[in-house]
């Protein structure tokens, strides 16, 4: 049995979904959040990578 703690959850307890159902705390989709505890470590890693990309896309550009 795979331990669900193999990949730590990115949850930061700021659970607010935007209009596209993306959490503004962890940047996972509502579907990804719901499925997190049933996923394999490999799939969790994929979800984390997508969440990181979403966070980067949503961050304002900082100059200087």
* Residue 5: pLDDT over 90: no
* Residue 3: pLDDT over 70: no
DSSP state of 4: T
Position 13 scores a pLDDT of 94
CA distances for 28 relative to 23, 38, 55, 63, angstroms:
6, 15, 9, 27
On whether the CB atoms of residues 28 and 15 are closer than 8 A, the answer is no
> 13 lies in a domain?
no
Cα 25–chain centre separation: 8
> 22 lies in a domain?
no
Position 1 scores a pLDDT of 43
> 34 lies in a domain?
yes
> 47 lies in a domain?
yes
In the chain, the number of structural domains is 1
On whether the CB atoms of residues 41 and 2 are closer than 8 A, the answer is yes
Range of the domain at 46: 30-58
> 4 lies in a domain?
no
| Residue range 17-60, pLDDT digits in tens | 999 999 999 999 999 999 999 999 999 999 999 999 999 998 77
> 52 lies in a domain?
yes
* Residue 4: pLDDT over 80: no
Rounded Cα–Cα distance for residues 8 and 41 (Å): 9
Position 32 scores a pLDDT of 98
């Amino acid at each position: 049995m795979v331990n669900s703690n193999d990949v730590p959850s990115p949850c930061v307890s700021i659970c607010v979904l935007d209009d596209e159902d993306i959490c503004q705390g962890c940047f996972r989709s509502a579907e990804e959040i719901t499925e997190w505890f049933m996923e394999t470590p490999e799939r969790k890693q994929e979800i984390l990578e997508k969440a990181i990309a979403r966070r980067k896309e949503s961050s304002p550009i900082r100059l200087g």
